[in-house]
């Protein structure tokens, strides 16, 4: 690895790169990073960069919780290792290259709090059973002029939603996004002015889970840099104004075996794909505690906003937390996938994918059969109708999320005892922080965190 890192460093230095940003996401979905000079890359790849072990218990507001027994003192250091296979120059910050980081203990042994390692282990386990997950994120974000303190009073585009006119004044920014995504090796399916306040959406192409999570982090950096260069700032927060549609980071996945997409079928998934979907549905409350885990996430998940609020699945149903997207003669059968809507930027993307994979695979192993899909919005039904149809509200408070997480041996099990402890300590710290605050204060404190 040192050899590959030395060779890469030499090429990058010759091209004018002076440093490498090594990035990971913490338990709040907040990217954290260290920059090493380009001359230090090979050493970093070999021996890692020292970082405090306490990042695992940082809450969303940068408070260190000390609330988890394994990480309750200021002592301890781990090593952050840049993943050289994923190293690339940042088109929008040309003096920098970027690499995702993985964390190991100071002696080089696995560190149970490394989210990327947790996902890798889950992917390896799935591969052993003959399964392969493909995943791609869809990113929604709100835009405002640089220096804005909120979106509502200074929206960065006037709408209308989906209008080409909305984006005219952002022409330079859009051009930079298209250029920089391609140059950074990220494939975009499409981009548009989305339904929310000053909102834009772009979708990333599906790939293997670890790359999908890496790509999600790189996409954030790419968008932030392009926005800044064009006098703009972006908010990835789950909710940017109490009344407006939130920012969903919908997660599209498909499960494959021996090159076959098990979700493909004639308008509905085949039996094993259906079992995968049923696995996600069974664990949806616990999944949500990982994929939409913050206080603002709970504010975003309301009926009537296409963000999902009740636990059910549907075919192309945009209110459904699990939206089955079938293949077709035009799109090809392999287009089939499931979109998870209760997913946002406050989730650690590696943990989100690890939890989804575990829940879905358990569904296949146990041969679960999903209930009939629902075409309506159960948010418009009476409470009685929802009960009759077995449609429950997704966890709506941090306390309900915590209980749901603990109630799923599969999702809690993926994190493992140590990481689960740290994750819960952080959630509880965030919940305490929010306790005495108004919705406006909560929304505003999270706007620029991600
Ligand atoms: N903005 C919606 C959300 O919070 C999603 C809208 C859509 O793309 O369906 O998830
Ligand atoms: Mg959207």
Query: Which atom of ligand 1 is closest in space to residue 196's alpha carbon?
Result: 1
Q: What's the pLDDT at 1? A: 62
The sign of the torsion formed by the CA atoms of 291, 212, 420, 25 equals negative
pLDDT digits 0-9 by tens, 234-247:
999 999 999 999 99
Q: Is 227 a residue whose pLDDT tops 70? A: yes
Going by CA atoms, what residue is nearest to atom 2 of ligand 1? 307
* Environment of ion ligand 2 (residues, CB < 5 A): 201
Looking at 3.20.20.80, 3.40.50.2000, 2.40.50.70, 3.10.20.70, the CATH number of the domain 2-110 comes to: 3.10.20.70
pLDDT digits 0-9 by tens, 82-131:
999 999 999 999 999 999 999 999 999 999 999 999 999 999 999 999 99
pLDDT band at 266 (very low <50, low <70, confident <90, very high): confident
Taking the centre of ligand 1 as the mean of its atom positions, its distance from the CA of residue 343, in whole angstroms, is 10
What mean pLDDT is reported for the chain? 97
The number of residues making up the chain comes to 450
pLDDT digits 0-9 by tens, 24-66:
999 999 999 999 999 999 999 999 999 999 999 999 999 999 9
The three-state DSSP-derived secondary structure of 54-120 is HHHHECCCCCECCCCHHHCCCCCEEEEEECHHHCEECCCCCCEEEEEEEEEECCCCECCCCHHHHHH
Pocket residues: Cβ below 6 A from ligand 1: 140, 195-196, 245-246, 248, 300, 305-307, 318, 341
Taking the centre of ligand 2 as the mean of its atom positions, its distance from the CA of residue 194, in whole angstroms, is 6
Taking the centre of ligand 1 as the mean of its atom positions, its distance from the CA of residue 279, in whole angstroms, is 23
| Helix/strand/coil for 349 | helix
Rounded to the nearest 5 percent, the helix, strand and coil shares of the chain are: 40, 20, 35
Going by CA atoms, what residue is nearest to atom 8 of ligand 1? 306
pTM of the model: 0.98
Q: Which CATH class is domain 122-446?
A: alpha beta
Tell me the helices (H) and strands (E) count for the chain, helix number first: 13, 15
Taking the centre of ligand 1 as the mean of its atom positions, its distance from the CA of residue 380, in whole angstroms, is 18
Q: Where are the domains of the chain?
A: 2-110, 122-446
Q: Are 307 and 300 in contact (CB under 8 A)?
A: yes
Q: Is 159 a residue whose pLDDT tops 90? A: yes
| Cα angle: 129, vertex 130, 131; to 5 degrees | 100
């Amino acid at each position: 690895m040192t050899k590959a890192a030395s060779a890469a460093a030499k090429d990058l230095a010759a091209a004018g790169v002076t440093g490498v940003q090594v990035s990971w996401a913490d338990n709040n979905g907040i990217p954290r990073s260290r920059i090493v000079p380009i001359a230090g890359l090979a050493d970093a790849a070999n021996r890692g960069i020292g970082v405090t072990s306490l990042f695992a218990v940082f809450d969303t507001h940068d408070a260190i919780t000390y609330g988890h027994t394994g990480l309750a003192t200021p002592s301890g250091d781990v090593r952050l290792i840049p993943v050289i296979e994923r190293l690339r120059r940042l088109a929008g910050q040309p003096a920098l290259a970027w690499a995702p980081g993985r964390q190991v203990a100071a002696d080089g042994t696995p560190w149970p709090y490394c989210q990327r390692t947790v996902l890798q282990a889950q992917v390896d386990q799935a591969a052993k059973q003959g399964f392969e997950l493909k995943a791609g994120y869809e990113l929604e974000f709100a835009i405002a002029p640089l220096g804005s303190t909120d979106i509502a009073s200074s929206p960065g585009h006037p709408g209308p939603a989906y209008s080409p006119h909305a984006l005219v004044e952002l022409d330079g920014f859009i051009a930079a996004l298209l250029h920089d995504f391609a140059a950074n090796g990220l494939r975009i399916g499409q981009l548009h002015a989305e339904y929310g306040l000053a909102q834009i959406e772009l979708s990333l192409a599906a790939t293997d889970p670890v790359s999908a999570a890496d790509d999600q982090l790189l996409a954030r950096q790419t968008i932030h840099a392009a926005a800044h260069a064009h006098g703009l700032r972006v908010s990835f927060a789950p909710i940017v104004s109490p009344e407006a549609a939130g920012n969903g980071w919908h997660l599209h996945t498909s499960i494959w075996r021996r090159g076959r997409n098990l979700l493909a079928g004639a308008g509905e998934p085949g039996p094993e794909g259906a079992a995968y979907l049923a696995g996600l549905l069974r664990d949806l409350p616990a999944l949500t505690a990982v994929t939409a885990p913050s206080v603002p996430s709970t504010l975003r998940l309301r009926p009537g906003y296409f963000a999902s609020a009740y636990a059910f699945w549907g075919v192309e149903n945009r209110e459904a937390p699990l939206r089955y997207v079938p293949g077709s003669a035009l799109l090809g059968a392999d287009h089939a996938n499931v979109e998870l809507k209760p997913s946002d930027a406050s989730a650690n993307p590696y943990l989100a994918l690890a939890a989804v994979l575990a829940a879905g695979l358990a569904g296949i192993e146990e041969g679960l059969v999903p209930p009939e899909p629902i075409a309506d919005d159960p948010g418009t039904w009476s409470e009685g109708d929802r009960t009759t149809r077995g449609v429950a509200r997704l966890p709506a408070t941090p306390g309900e999320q915590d209980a749901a997480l603990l109630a799923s041996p599969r999702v809690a099990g993926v994190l493992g005892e140590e990481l689960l402890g740290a994750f819960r300590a952080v959630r509880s710290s965030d919940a305490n922080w929010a306790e005495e605050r108004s919705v406006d204060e909560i929304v505003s404190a999270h706007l620029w965190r991600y």
